[in-house]
Amino acid sequence: VRLQAIFRGRQVRKQAAVTLRCMQALVRVQACVRARNVRNSPEGKAVQQLIEDHRNQADSVKLVEVVLS
């Protein structure tokens, strides 16, 4: 009986680990889909444009700093 309990406990822990990995994969997929939906929304596109503008300004500032150095 004790051996059976140990074996079943091991099986339960193994199944729990597999289930957790599957759930983590589902969460990652959901996050990717949500991120894509946000990026494709009008608000998301506006945010992406702001980020790109900010990066371009930062690159310009770095270029000027290099030239002035």
Instruction: DSSP for the chain, please give it.
Output: -HHHHHHHHHHHHHHHHHHHHHHHHHHHHHHHHHHHHHHHSHHHHHHHHHHHHHHHHHHHHHHHHHHH-
Confidence label for 28 from pLDDT (cuts 50, 70 and 90): very high
pLDDT digits (tens, 9 = 90+) for 38-52: 888 988 889 888 988
pLDDT of residue 3: 85
Q: 63: how many CB neighbours lie within 10 A of its CB? A: 10
pLDDT digits (tens, 9 = 90+) for 49-64: 898 898 888 877 777 7
